[in-house]
Amino acid sequence: MANASSEDPKGKVKCQPVLEDYYECLHHKKEAARVQAMQAAYRKAEADSPRKDAPSAGEIRRLGVLDVPLEEKNLKVNKWLPHREI
């Protein structure tokens, strides 16, 4: 520190908040720590309370489109486009 000496460390104390703000502005370490803490808390809350209406793995894979006739899907077959019955 330019305004601190070994006999008078008061200058160091004066510059500490400004220096801390400068390093936070450059590196965002406090912000990153806050974001990580919030993400960890969110993930923990999600893991602790599972959804009651959560879809099964099969429903997620199919998305409700496979293994259903065209009439049930409310799709009309275009005579000009090729298609195959599922």
Cα–Cα–Cα angle for 26, 32, 38, rounded to 5 degrees: 155
Are 83 and 76 contacting, i.e. CB atoms less than 8 angstroms apart? no
pTM of the predicted model as reported, rounded to 2 decimal places: 0.46
pLDDT for residue 43: 93
Name the pLDDT band for 17 (thresholds 50, 70, 90): confident
Are 3 and 11 contacting, i.e. CB atoms less than 8 angstroms apart? yes
pLDDT for residue 37: 97
Strands of the chain (E only): list them: none
Instruction: Identify the DSSP state of 55.
Output: P
pLDDT tens, residue by residue, 30-83: 999 999 999 999 999 988 888 888 877 777 766 756 666 656 666 666 777 776
Higher pLDDT, 51 or 5: 51
